[in-house]
Chains A and B, each alone.
Chain A
Amino acid sequence: MTTTFRNEPLLELRRASERERLRAALAALDRALPIAVPAIVGGDHRHAAGFPSVDPGRPSRVVAEATAATPAEVDAAVAAAGAAAREWGARPAAERAAALARAAGHLRARRHELAALAVRECAKPWAEADADVCEAIDFLEYYAAEAVRLEAGPALVQLPGERNTLHYRPRGVVAVIAPWNFPLAIATGMTAAGLATGNAVCLKPAEQSPACALALVEALLAAGVPAGAIALLPGEGDVGSALVAHPGVHTVAFTGSGAVGLEILRRAAEPAPGQRHLKRVIAEMGGKNCVVVDADADLDDVVPALLRSAFGFAGQKCSAASRALVHARVAEALTARLVGALDTLLVGQAETFGTDVPPLIEASARERVERYAAGAAQAGATVRRTDPARVPGEGHFVAPTLVLAPARDAAVVRDEIFGPLLTVETVADVEQAAELIAQQAHALTGSLFSRNPRTVASFARRTPVGNLYINRGSTGAMVGRQPFGGNRLSGTGAKAGGPDYLLHFVEPVVVTESTVRHGLAF
């Protein structure tokens, strides 16, 4: 196992031949739809009627027909996982790592097809869909390598007459509750972390993206992960809820909304009858991410970065920018350029190369964004949107929206909206922007545009956010390069794709042995 990790290269979409290959992969995928997604427990595939996942850009197109996992299947999956974890966890880390690396290879072999699947099932535009596949591969390879490194254990102080060792043990069964917005990457990341460290995993994918999760589980099983060590439990909230409450689950890895995350933390804190361990929750929740623009910023860079961060993938990333705090000296100029640039955004189907703003994942998401936009206008803010004529009718499309000069305490400024809506506020200086950020409940990502190294250093010292970007947009964290995760109400502080992440999936055990016998040290 090599220790130098390299991110999977993105496809060079600037080459026409590469774009052609993706179009062909999508056409082939379309012929195979809908995909039947089974519940997979102990290697057994059970197909039954359940719920569909549909193309958000054309809701009449069914992408997958998923089987809804039953309560009995949840029980069976956790029991099988408990048993499999003992055998899987006893294997050397290198052996587990090799299986994960093989799974990465399976994903790589299908990368065009999987990108097409993310385009269809989640309306991720091509570049983002491809990046999602690459990130999934990265997580498998990165955590595989990290688990091998972790197995050695850290060095302890050693004195004459004793031998101290520290080793990390798997905790047992991990319930992974995954989101749809990075349908492959995040499900893979949490699952790979559990498996790499010797745990067994029960995966509950988002109900919007079961087919992407199926591709992951297929890759893991084909790579030789024991059948009991990985279960696929498609379903809605009830499946996740049953997993969180289950006494056989040791760790819950969750990425999703703040409301659900808090509920999981509450439920997991209460031990079930017969439960002999404390559950650990790794929760990655929302953000209210600010982009601060100082007076000396290069607006030529700020405008494109803001557009990409706020409106790329229709703002449906927890790292997306939703609040711009702009120095008074450049506020007018920047606002004018932003408003003018709204019309450069291509609102369209994810499968169209060049689309900036695809449809939102579902109707309720669209309604939520529209509600905030209407509320902001009612409250007296200026609302500027892309020309409605340029927004397709079918599909859950929302016109990219700028809310100018909202009140500081407006709901549109406070809440995570998770859509293509950016508020723009004027601040007296970076200091005031830092104050406003300090008052926020969320602390996931942030971005600062300033060309003064002293401003940058002082802002970085005091920022509460988990990921701060200087002179670039707030999205696009890469495995191994920008370990990702938020603080405060944004999450439990775990850094996915970073050197500390696996520690959340293990328990340290220290063994101290006396080497003294009859006054002699051996």
Chain B
Amino acid sequence: MDRVLEHAPPTGGTPQLALDAEIAALGRRLARRGSALRRARRVTHDRAMALAARDPQLRAALFRLVDVAPACAGPVELAEHLSAFLGGVERRAAATAAASRAARAPGARWATGRAATAAVRGMAARFIVGETPADAARTLGGLWERGAAVSIDLLGESTVTPAEGRAYAARCEEALVQLAVDAARWPARPLLEADSAGPLPRVNLSVKVTALTPLVRAEAPARGRADAAELLRPLLRRAREVGAHLHVDMESVDSRELILELVLELLSEPEFAAGPSAGIVLQAYLRDAEETLERVLDWARASGRTPPLTIRLVKGAYWDHEIIEAAQHGWTPPVWTEKADSDRCFERVTRRLLDAWADERLVRPAIASHNLRSIAHAVVYARRRGLAPADLELQVLRGLGDDLQDALAAEGLRGRTYCPVGDLVAGMAYLVRRLLENTSNDSFLASRLGGAELDRLLSAP
């Protein structure tokens, strides 16, 4: 609690209780707006996910089904898998038992498989805005009109060959060009198009370094960095040419140094001194997140590059992976093992980011979370530092943060929705991870909780 005081702005002396009270009030308002805006057709779906969240075995079976669906040749094969997954579920709930019986009955296999396929595709369609950027144009334009900017993420299978890396880079380049054409037709949305440092590109593409190069090796970062640079450089040029923002995603710790050094080195090259707009990601679940931020801030201070680097702050999506990796090798996990520690780190980094922006206009802060407390904390702190709404970007995920996205827009805040684009089938692996996150209590779904539970969610971590 007193951490808020420790990090209070130098000018401030803000009573911490007042800050917490303001955070809670904003959080409750966002929750109310979210409920009011909730799309009816999704209620059933949300309820199904909540049910799955309560039964870990059923949840595991469903995730395995979603995971294997792209590799199944047809409905019958999918039904066979479903039956095998459910066969492992002991002491089943009535619903599971019924599903299991249905999946096993030979005559019903085709029908079950069809239903499962439809369910998986339906679920995927909620998260994936289109198979190609052109496909996605209508949805993206719609989001813009509702008051939400977007960032596009091109899904695909892992890159294990140089040719696959080049193909991904080509898709990224096409997307930049296509999106630039589409975005030129969008109506003006002043809140989304500029902050106090200048214009914000409408086109925003997120890229993954492990999709650019198959040479990412934790013990030899230089090799992958050099390989990725060859493909990232042309993308940066193209982004500058079409006036787009290029955001490099962060992945597991094994590639962290590589990605960080790659981006900072490339952006330091003279040809990129004046653009394009670019960004990186900071993961608050890492124990050394604050050191990393200081490193980036030092870089930003020294580089004097324009436009400012954007930092997207996330909690991090590879927590299980990092914990397992560390346990199997006998290492101290690089991530916080208690969720509250990640939440606290998220708030500390949020304040540091906002301070650096308010005081020096160093790096653009983009806070990516579905946790109402984390979001409200950022908004309230930004207000305390005298920042205008346009100076704080709030990011959500397509499919999971839809209600939140609308609530933020209704509140007059600047939001951006991270939108996966790609084949529903190829996007499955991605989807599974999103689902795992969704069923944790860090989701905006939890905001549907009433009174006391909502208060607990909104209290300081």
B410 to chain A, nearest CB (A): 40
- Which chain B residues border A14 with CB–CB below 8 Å? 218-219, 253-254, 257
Whether B329 lies near A353 (C-beta < 8 A) is: no
- Which chain A residues border B87 with CB–CB below 8 Å? 453-454
Once bound together, how far apart are the Cα atoms of A9 and B77, in whole Å? 42
Whether A297 lies near B219 (C-beta < 8 A) is: no
Chain A residues bordering chain B, tally (CB within 8 A): 34
In the complex, residue of chain A having the shortest beta-carbon distance to the beta carbon of B85 = A453
Known: A9-B331, A300-B160. A453 touches B218 (CB 8 A): no
Whether B215 lies near A344 (C-beta < 8 A) is: yes
Once bound together, how far apart are the Cα atoms of A10 and B218, in whole Å? 14
| B88 sits at the interface (CB 8 A) | yes
- Which chain A residues border B77 with CB–CB below 8 Å? 296
For A312-353 the 0/1 string (1 means CB < 8 A from B) is 000000000000000001000000010011011010000011
Once bound together, how far apart are the Cα atoms of A452 and B65, in whole Å? 10
Whether B71 lies near A8 (C-beta < 8 A) is: no
Whether A303 lies near B160 (C-beta < 8 A) is: yes
Known: A14-B257, A341-B161, A452-B84. 8 other contacts (CB 8 A): A13-B219, A127-B219, A296-B68, A296-B72, A346-B220, A354-B217, A354-B222, A453-B87
For B118-151 the 0/1 string (1 means CB < 8 A from A) is 0000000000000000000000000000000000
Listed A/B pairs (24) with beta-carbon separation below 8 Å: A9-B330, A13-B218, A14-B257, A296-B71, A298-B71, A300-B157, A300-B429, A303-B160, A337-B160, A337-B161, A340-B163, A341-B214, A343-B162, A344-B214, A346-B220, A346-B223, A354-B217, A354-B219, A451-B81, A452-B68, A452-B81, A452-B84, A454-B84, A454-B87
Task: Name the one of A13, A295, A298, A352 contacting B73, with C-beta atoms under 8 angstroms.
Answer: A295
In the complex, residue of chain B having the shortest beta-carbon distance to the beta carbon of A306 = B160
Whether A16 lies near B257 (C-beta < 8 A) is: yes
| A409 sits at the interface (CB 8 A) | no
Known: A14-B257, A340-B164, A451-B68. A299 touches B157 (CB 8 A): yes
B188 to chain A, nearest CB (A): 42
In the complex, residue of chain B having the shortest beta-carbon distance to the beta carbon of A478 = B328
For B213-234 the 0/1 string (1 means CB < 8 A from A) is 0110111101100000000000
| B67 sits at the interface (CB 8 A) | yes
B395 to chain A, nearest CB (A): 27
Once bound together, how far apart are the Cα atoms of A302 and B64, in whole Å? 17
B322 to chain A, nearest CB (A): 12
| B80 sits at the interface (CB 8 A) | yes
- Which chain B residues border A462 with CB–CB below 8 Å? none
Once bound together, how far apart are the Cα atoms of A452 and B87, in whole Å? 11
In the complex, residue of chain B having the shortest beta-carbon distance to the beta carbon of A130 = B219
Q: Which B161-184 residues have C-beta < 8 A from chain A?
A: 161-164
Whether B67 lies near A451 (C-beta < 8 A) is: yes
Whether B71 lies near A295 (C-beta < 8 A) is: yes
For A1-28 the 0/1 string (1 means CB < 8 A from B) is 0000011111011101001000000000
Q: Which of A19, A304, A453 has the most CB of B within 10 A?
A: A453
Once bound together, how far apart are the Cα atoms of A97 and B302, in whole Å? 58
Q: Which B318-355 residues have C-beta < 8 A from chain A?
A: 329-331
A511 to chain B, nearest CB (A): 42
| B16 sits at the interface (CB 8 A) | no
> What 7 A-B pairs come out closest when comparing CB atoms?
A354-B220, A9-B330, A340-B161, A14-B218, A13-B219, A300-B158, A303-B160
Q: Which B364-386 residues have C-beta < 8 A from chain A?
A: none
Whether B71 lies near A451 (C-beta < 8 A) is: yes
Once bound together, how far apart are the Cα atoms of A12 and B72, in whole Å? 38
Known: A340-B160, A343-B162, A344-B160. A10 touches B67 (CB 8 A): no
Whether A340 lies near B162 (C-beta < 8 A) is: yes
In the complex, residue of chain A having the shortest beta-carbon distance to the beta carbon of B158 = A300
Whether A329 lies near B67 (C-beta < 8 A) is: no
A424 to chain B, nearest CB (A): 15
Task: Name the one of A304, A346, A352 contacting B160, with C-beta atoms under 8 angstroms.
Answer: A304
Q: Which A450-474 residues have C-beta < 8 A from chain B?
A: 451-454
Whether A12 lies near B162 (C-beta < 8 A) is: no
Q: Which B57-92 residues have C-beta < 8 A from chain A?
A: 64, 67-68, 71-73, 77, 80-81, 84-85, 87-88
| A126 sits at the interface (CB 8 A) | yes
In the complex, residue of chain B having the shortest beta-carbon distance to the beta carbon of A19 = B219
- Which chain A residues border B329 with CB–CB below 8 Å? 9-10, 12
A187 to chain B, nearest CB (A): 23
Once bound together, how far apart are the Cα atoms of A452 and B164, in whole Å? 28
In the complex, residue of chain A having the shortest beta-carbon distance to the beta carbon of B227 = A344
Once bound together, how far apart are the Cα atoms of A451 and B68, in whole Å? 7
Once bound together, how far apart are the Cα atoms of A340 and B158, in whole Å? 13
Once bound together, how far apart are the Cα atoms of A298 and B81, in whole Å? 14
Once bound together, how far apart are the Cα atoms of A337 and B163, in whole Å? 9
Once bound together, how far apart are the Cα atoms of A297 and B330, in whole Å? 29
In the complex, residue of chain A having the shortest beta-carbon distance to the beta carbon of B161 = A340
In the complex, residue of chain A having the shortest beta-carbon distance to the beta carbon of B220 = A354
In the complex, residue of chain B having the shortest beta-carbon distance to the beta carbon of A9 = B330
B264 to chain A, nearest CB (A): 15
Whether A341 lies near B331 (C-beta < 8 A) is: no
Known: A126-B219, A340-B162, A353-B220. A12 touches B84 (CB 8 A): no
Once bound together, how far apart are the Cα atoms of A440 and B408, in whole Å? 64
- Which chain B residues border A16 with CB–CB below 8 Å? 257
Known: A354-B217, A454-B84. A10 touches B330 (CB 8 A): yes
Known: A6-B330, A10-B330, A453-B87. A297 touches B71 (CB 8 A): yes
- Which chain B residues border A6 with CB–CB below 8 Å? 330
Once bound together, how far apart are the Cα atoms of A352 and B220, in whole Å? 9
Once bound together, how far apart are the Cα atoms of A352 and B67, in whole Å? 37
Once bound together, how far apart are the Cα atoms of A6 and B71, in whole Å? 38
- Which chain B residues border A452 with CB–CB below 8 Å? 68, 80-81, 84
Once bound together, how far apart are the Cα atoms of A63 and B301, in whole Å? 50
In the complex, residue of chain B having the shortest beta-carbon distance to the beta carbon of A12 = B331
For A219-248 the 0/1 string (1 means CB < 8 A from B) is 000000000000000000000000000000
Once bound together, how far apart are the Cα atoms of A329 and B253, in whole Å? 35
Once bound together, how far apart are the Cα atoms of A300 and B68, in whole Å? 12
